[in-house]
Structure 1
């Protein structure tokens, strides 16, 4: 790791945290790394940056800031490799030299920082920097579809109509999925049935040319008949289940409250009644008024 210079410490402290951390990594000669995947490097860098900013905020001269960062790096390596007692002994050995470099005031401030902030978290630093992290980041391919452009306002629908159509589409989707599942299941049933039947027929063929007793013949016949019967039973059960599911889907569809604006459902569509044609009287048929007037005239003539 490269040594931090006075100008480098000034440059890091003058930047915001994210930019300052990146600048510090460059000045220390670190290669670029992924903060999420290389968590130990990220903790290491954050530790050095906190030491640097602490010294700068406490008014340490920039030369002293660079010096305490170097000492903090050595202390961290000792934490990774040794025990808490060894880390304390290491700092004690550096105390006389550090006191001469920092002076009484800054030495006391930095020592309090080490013993109150860093060393109380000794186990945490040691565990995080020595135990490899199990990285579990699933890679999932997702299809991103942009939203459909909005329809013209004149094609807008009432909320109840839209909700009804959406529910109908959901039911139709379930019907299509279930139909596909049933077809696959039927194919499996047919395949398994054919295997059993073919095996029974092979058993019959294997007996060709051999003397067969009545009991053996009866067993062979029961095997063949049983294979056909089981295949027929499975197909009947599948057909019954299909009818039941179809009825359930139809019941679910008919139970949806249909908006009145859509009119009656297609299954109950009302046929338009043809207009009743008024029957015209025959020419030869006399109207009641004509027959009544003629009858009155005849009666007057008789008088």
Structure 2
């Protein structure tokens, strides 16, 4: 079978989940490879996401590993069988792979929960706001790289604005709403856009005011993406080296708790909407 030179994050995740099944059952890779009629090297490629696996082989592997979680198995089969070429594929070779992986992950999610401390969440940004953020990158991006990034970010909004929108809840710190990444007009239009998304029901927005007591989570920015089953949830976190895709169950549990803790420190949606209206008037 053809090797993938650059597997997507979704393909890597499938391989990782198959390895988890095997290891949970205490089965050596060589044994499972033999069961599937594959070499040990091919088994390693499957678990790395660099080689595909058929539905028949996947079900055989799950049965051999005594996995009885039918919902998980069906979800894994769906990933293995997926041949979707989404709009993000238009940017292959134009943008870094991680940009495509983020859009694909959002497309396949069942809900989105986000915490934004320093910037307005990407799914709520205007084009001018996004351009200002990307323009601050060093080394400075040429227009040929800047424009596709802005366009890609705007197209990601389809997951909350399209015909089958995802439930989207975001917690935004007042700092992110106040900081002027460009000029006053950009900030005004950005706040109006957030209010418009709230009014249209595309986003449930909660604000953490600067003077809010009980909030020490200034480093908690993240996006939590619900999977078809909880075991396939994913968290995206930005780091100095890029975007991290987190899927270890222990970490997911901690981050679910963290989201609720931050949520408890935020205003409710109605008070948050009124808060943003007041900020807009101040501008």
TM-score interval for Structure 1 and Structure 2 normalised by the shorter chain: under 0.3
> Which protein has the larger Cα radius of gyration, Structure 1 or Structure 2?
1
**Which has a greater percent of helix?**
1
**Which has a greater percent of strand?**
2
**TM-score relative to the length of structure 2:** 0.24
